[in-house]
Amino acid sequence: MKHYSAFAIAREALRGHTGWERAWRKATPKKKYDVVIVGAGGHGLATAYYLGKNHGIKNVAIIEKGWLGGGNTGRNTTIIRSNYLQDPSAAIYEKARSLYETLSQDLNYNIMFSPRGVLMLAQTEHEARGYKRTAHANALQGVDTEFVSPERVKELCPIIELSGPRYPVLGALWQARAGTARHDAVAWGYARACSDMGMDIIQKCEVTGVRSDNGQVSGVETSQGSIDCDKLCIVVAGHSGHLAEMAGFRLPVESVALQAMVSEPIKPCMDVVVMANTVHGYMSQSDKGEMVIGGGADGYNNYTQRGSFHHIEETVRALIETFPMISRLKMLRQWGGIVDMTGDRSPIISTTPLGNCFINCGWGTGGFKAIPGSGWATAEMVAKGEPGPLAAEFGLNRFREGRFIDESVAAGVAH
């Protein structure tokens, strides 16, 4: 793999950019791998990368029924934060956030990480009390957050309207080292590094069955033929239940669409991320000037990746009260991603009833921000055969034991 640098750009500019290599190899399946990872999104690629980097396991295939990063990794609003209330959540999200800070250097690929800070608005007295509680919990967890006044909110985001007619801003939970990154670049950077380690990234390869012998996984059937493996890791977000059924077990998840949109580009006016959970909308400005807007998940199970008019109306109507200036913007495009929701709105990183088959799913609306931490924890589980400290609390058995990690109640929102 050629090293990317300013000198490499200058060199290629002088010779007409004829010397660039493919970012990752186009691979065809081998007969057998040590590990097969189903799903070439951010979480699957990060799992493969840390399997190689941290554990020396490089005979790995990452198979994807569509194209690399074509699922939720390329269909989100790119927010990165770790200010969660529950200890297991804060630990894995803070691990992810800290890895994001140096990920461009680690991968030798610019993921455009922007630690611009995230404001989570308190617009009711109940929400203000909840965020103050979270700030205290974060202090104990070693996560740097603070509850700030309305005046400080206005200073950080001048375009905000503090005295909205229904929901005035009473303060906010502020995480200064949170921010955003380029979603496609995260997937491409991990893919390039995995390919350089000799791993095979196989696109347009759909899994049609999971094979087992004596209660242990032995391989998968795919649209490109049979592939044997010693270990199987399923990382397919909204399609997790479908793959789990092939492997002979059920998951406590449901799939719904989460919608987002961007406006036409405008001049820079907002250099933080703002989440308004009471009215259920969140917004940031992209490097191209578009206002990136998201809202709640659909209230019914579906697999659509299209937007719908009622979400445009609900989300924009809510945000206009807090950001009156966006009432004059035109919408540029809208999309949806298929997210997998658990009952407690926390992920599943777990062994399964099928031996040597592992699952990473249930991230709901918070998957992008967790990619590096999720990959780190899942790689450790696959390599050692059981979850390590980061993943231990996220096992499937918690639903049987009633040991929930209830972020939906704790935070008021799962984004």
Domain assignment present for 44: yes
Distance CA 148, CA 210 (A): 51
Tell me, yes or no, whether 218 and 120 share the same domain: no
Task: Report yes or no on 317 lying in a domain.
Answer: yes
Whole-number Cα distances in Å, 24 to 68, 82, 90, 195, 197:
11, 31, 33, 5, 10
From 326, 342, 358, give the residue that closes a domain. 342
17 Rama class: left (phi>0) / alpha (psi -120 to 50) / beta = left
Confidence of residue 412 (pLDDT cuts 50, 70, 90): very low
Contact 62, 388 (CB under 8 A): no
Q: Does residue 239 form part of some domain?
A: yes
Structure tokens at 361: 């799913």
42 and 128 in a common domain: no
Co-location of 390 and 400 in the same domain: yes
The enclosing domain of 65 has a CATH number of 3.50.50.60
Among 342, 361, 386, the domain boundary falls at 342
172 and 126 share one domain: yes
pLDDT in tens, 202-212: 999 999 999 99
Q: DSSP letters along 179-194, please?
A: EE--HHHHHHHHHHHH
15 lies in some domain: no
Element (H, E) at 284: strand 281-285
- Residue 414: its pLDDT value, please? 44
Task: Examine the domain organization and report whether 266 and 328 are in the same domain.
Answer: yes
Residue with tokens 């933080």: 272
What's the pLDDT score for residue 213?
96
Residues ≥6 apart with Cβ < 8 Å to 125: 170
Pair 214, 127 in one domain:
no
**pLDDT value of residue 315:** 83
Q: Which of 316, 342, 368 is the last residue of a domain?
A: 342
Does 105 reside within a domain? no
- Report yes or no on 155 lying in a domain: yes
**pLDDT tens digits, 126-172:** 999 999 999 999 999 999 999 999 999 999 999 999 997 788 999 99
- My answer on whether 325 and 201 are in the same domain is no
Per the structure, how many domains does the chain have? 2
Integer Cα distance of 282 and 361 in angstroms: 24
Q: What is the pLDDT of residues 216-228, one digit of tens each?
A: 999 999 999 999 9
Query: Do 168 and 42 have their domain in common?
Result: no
Query: 361 Cβ partners below 8 Å, 6+ apart?
Result: 234, 235, 236, 237, 240, 251, 253, 340, 347, 348
Residues 273 and 405 placed together within one structural domain of the fold = no
How much is the pTM? 0.95
356: left (phi over 0), alpha (psi -120 to 50) or beta: left
What is the average pLDDT across 23-50?
96
pLDDT for residue 409? 54
Are 349 and 396 in contact by the 8 Å Cβ rule? The answer is no
Q: What angle do CA 125, 141, 351 make, to 5 degrees?
A: 110
Domain assignment of residue 173, given as a range: 115-177+255-342
pLDDT of residue 184: 95
The string of pLDDT tens digits covering residues 395-405 is 999 999 999 99
What does the DSSP assignment read for 91-152? HHHHHHHHHHHTHHHHHTS----B---EEEEE-SHHHHHHHHHHHHHHHHHT---EEE-HHH
pLDDT in tens, 302-361: 888 777 777 778 888 888 889 998 999 999 988 888 999 998 999 999 999 999 999 999
| pLDDT tens readout for residues 166-182 | 889 999 999 999 999 99
Give the pLDDT confidence score for residue 31 in this predicted structure. Answer: 96
**Model confidence band, residue 40 (pLDDT cutoffs 50, 70, 90):** very high
Distance separating the N- and C-terminal Cα atoms of the chain: 36
Residue 190 sits in the same domain as residue 246: yes
Residue 91 within any structural domain of the chain: no
Q: What share of the chain is helix, strand, coil (3-state, %, to 5)?
A: 35, 25, 40
CATH number at residue 282: 3.30.9.10
**Mind listing the pLDDT tens digit for each residue in 75-116?**
889 999 999 999 999 999 999 999 999 999 999 999 999 999
Instruction: Write the DSSP symbol of residue 24.
Output: S
**338 shares a domain with 348:** no
- Whether 87 maps to a domain, the answer reads no
> Residue 284 in contact with residue 273, Cβ under 8 Å?
yes
Q: What is the mean pLDDT of residues 30-47?
A: 97
Sequence letter at residue 102: T
Q: Which residue has 């250097």 as its token pair?
A: 105
282 and 390 co-located in one domain? no
Instruction: Go through the chain and tell me how many residues it has.
Output: 415
Task: Classify residue 106 by burial, with Cβ atoms within 10 Å: 0-12, 13-18, 19+.
Answer: middle
